[in-house]
Amino acid sequence: MDTQKSAILKALLREFGYTHRSLATEVNRVSGRFFGRPGAATDRDVRRWVSGAVRWPTGRYLLPLAEIFDRPPEAMGFVPRGRSSRLPVPPPRDADREEEPVKRRTFLLDVASTAATVALALGLDETPVSGRLTLADVQRISGVIGRLQAHFNAIGGGALLEVATAYIHRLRDAVDGCTYGPNVEKALHSAISDLYSSAGWAAHDGGYGELARLHHAAALQSAILAGDKRGQARAWSNLAMQARVEGRHREALQINRAALDSRQARQDPRIAALLHSRLAIGHARSGDSPAAARSVLAAEAAYDRFDTAAPPPPWLRFLDAAEISGLSAIAHRAMGRLPDAEIATAQALQLLPSNMHRNRAYYGVQLAELQIAQGELTRGTATVAAIDTSALSSRRIGDRLATIHHTLTA
C-alpha cells in the first residue's frame, strides 16, 4: 500500500478503538467463527498490514477484517494482487455451531451472493486478458458496463462494488496483457473511465467515501488518457458531488463551475442539466439561495432541450424528469424551503419508472424525512411503511431509514 492507502487502515484502527494486539485477537476470534478454528494472527501481522508490507492479507484474515470493519478490502486500503485477490466465501458450518445471527454479517453475505449472481449474469470472465483486442471487443466491454449501471439503478450500489472492482482489475489486466491499436486503446481507456465512475457511485452508495473519491479520480485520469471529454465531464461532476457530501462546499462549487465551462456541457443538455442541478445544491448548502434558484431554473431549461429521439448513454439514463425534480428538492431542502422540497420529492416519486427501485427508495426516504421535519409524523410513518427495500442493497439508504425509524419510535 502507498502512504495514502496505509493511512486508511490506521484511521480505521483509531475509529474502532483497536490496538495492534486487540485487532489481532478479534481477527482470530472472527476467523474461528467463519472457518471453524481460530486464526493465528499476531500484532506483528497487524503492523505489516498497517505499514503496507503485506498488500493483500490471506483470505483467512481478509474476510474477518471485512466483517470487523464492515467494508470491502479496497476500502481498507489493501491492494489486490490479481485473480487470486477475491474475497473468499467462508465454508459452511454445522448448525449446532451457528451463533446468534448478526445483522451486519448477514447483510455482507447477502451482498456477496447478489454480487456473484450479477457477475455471472454479466459474464465478466469472458473479457479477454491476452491476445489482440478489437473495437468490437471494447464495444462488448462497454455493453457490460452499461448493464452493470442498470443493475445499480435497480438495486443500489452495495452489492455491485465487489463486481465493479473485480471488473476493473480484469480490464487492467487486458490493458497490460493484450495488443491493440491506438483507436482501441482510447476506446478501452474510455470504457475503464466509465467503469471507475460506476464503481465510485457503488462505493458512495455503500458508504465508503474515501474509496469513492479514489475511483472518481481514477475515472478522470482514464478519461484524460482516452481524450474523452464526456467522460471527463462525468468524472468532474462526480468529484464535485463527493466534495459536497464531505462538506467541502466551496471546492464542490469550483469543480462544478469548471465542468459547466467545458465544451461537452455546453453541447450536451443532459450533462448541463445534471451539472446545473448539482450546482444548485452546492449554492444552497453554501447559503446562496438566489444562485441556487437560478441553477434550478437552468437545470430545468437544459432538460427542456433534451433530444428525446436520441438514447442517452447508459450512465445518464437515470436523468429524467423524476431525477430533475428530486435534485431540485434537495436544493430546496438545503435552502430551508421544506414545503417546496416535499412537493418536488413527491413529484419525483410520481414520475419515477417502476424499475428504478433504488431511486424510489431514496426519494421515499427523503419524503419521509421532510414530512417528519415539518412535524407531520403520521404522514411520515405512512410514507416509511410504503418504502420497499426488499431488493435493495444501499447502505446509505439503509442508514437514513434506520435514523427515521429511531426518530419515530423515540
- Asked if residue 183 and residue 137 are part of one domain, the reply reads yes
Q: What is the mean pLDDT of residues 353-382?
A: 91
Quick one: pLDDT at residue 102? 43
Average pLDDT over residues 209-237: 89
Same structural domain for residues 278 and 290? Answer: yes
What percent of the chain stands above pLDDT 70?
A: 85
Tens of pLDDT along 16-42?
A: 788 898 899 888 888 887 777 788 889
Q: Find, among 388, 382, 381, the residue nearest to 405 by Cα.
A: 381
**Coil, strand or helix at 178:** strand
- What would the mean pLDDT of 152-171 be, rounded to a whole number? 78
pLDDT at position 351 is: 92
Q: Is residue 239 part of a domain?
A: no
The proportion of the chain whose per-residue pLDDT surpasses 90, expressed as a percent, equals 32
Dist. CA 23–CA 198, nearest whole Å: 32
Same domain, 143 and 174: yes
pLDDT over threshold 80, residue 83:
no
| CA gap 333, 342 in Å, rounded | 8
Looking at the structure of the chain, the number of domains it has is 4
Say yes or no: 311 and 351 in one domain. Answer: no
In a domain, 238, yes or no: no
Question: Which has the closest alpha carbon to 137: 81, 77, 178?
Answer: 178
pLDDT band at 383 (very low <50, low <70, confident <90, very high): very high
Q: Assign residue 69 the CATH number of its domain.
A: 1.10.260
Judge if 261 and 310 occupy the same domain: yes
Task: Please name the amino acid found at residue 89.
Answer: V
Q: Above 90 in pLDDT, residue 371? A: yes
Same domain, 253 and 311: yes
Q: CA dist 23 to 44, 125, 369, 396, 402, Å?
A: 11, 35, 37, 26, 28
| Domain boundary pick from 276, 291, 319 | 319
Last residue of a domain, one of 50, 81, 112: 81
The contacts of residue 356 (CB under 8 Å, 6+ apart) are 153, 154, 318, 322
User: pLDDT at position 108, please?
Assistant: 39
Q: Helices (DSSP H) in 156-208: which residue ranges?
A: 161-177, 182-205
List all residues 6 or more positions away from 398 whose beta carbon is below 8 Å from its beta carbon. 389, 392
Alpha carbons within 13 angstroms on the beta-carbon side of residue 387 total: 27
**Cα–Cα distance measured from residue 184 to residue 190, given in angstroms and rounded to the nearest whole number:** 10
Q: Is 30 a member of any domain?
A: yes
- Torsion 235-358-389-106 (CA) sign: negative
Residues linked to residue 132 through DSSP beta bridges, in sequence order: 179
Instruction: Give pLDDT tens digits for 93-136.
Output: 443 334 334 444 444 334 444 555 555 556 677 788 889 989 98
**Selection from 317, 320, 301, 299 nearest residue 363 by Cα:** 320
Same structural domain, 259 and 366? no
Last residue of a domain, one of 16, 46, 81: 81
pLDDT top residue among 108 and 289:
289
Residue 8's domain spans which residues? 1-81
State whether 105 and 76 are in the same domain: no
**Mean pLDDT, range 156-160, rounded to an integer:** 70
On average, the pLDDT of the chain sits at 82
> For residue 168, is pLDDT > 60?
yes
Most confident of 140-154, 187-201, 393-407: 187-201
| Strands (DSSP E) found in 84-177 | 131-132
Of 36-40, 71-75, 237-241, the range with the highest mean pLDDT is 237-241
pLDDT band at 267 (very low <50, low <70, confident <90, very high): confident
119 shares its domain with 195: yes
342: its cell numbers:
416535499
Residue 86, pLDDT score: 52
Higher pLDDT, 151 or 92: 151
Q: What is the CATH number of the domain that holds 383?
A: 1.25.40.10
C-alpha distances out from residue 264 to 236, 254, 272, 319, Å: 12, 17, 8, 16
Evaluate if pTM is beyond 0.85: no
CB 244 within 8 A of CB 281: yes
Q: Write down the pLDDT at residue 123.
A: 67
The pLDDT assigned to 6 comes to 61
Q: Are residues 53 and 162 in the same domain?
A: no
pLDDT band at 353 (very low <50, low <70, confident <90, very high): confident
Q: Helices 135-155 and 103-122, interaxial angle, to 10°?
A: 150
Q: Is the Cβ–Cβ distance between 71 and 64 less than 8 Å?
A: no
Same domain, 120 and 199: yes
Clarify whether residues 160 and 118 are in a common domain.
yes
> Of 64-73, 105-114, 206-215, which gets the smallest average pLDDT?
105-114
Per the domain annotation, does 23 fall within a domain?
Answer: yes
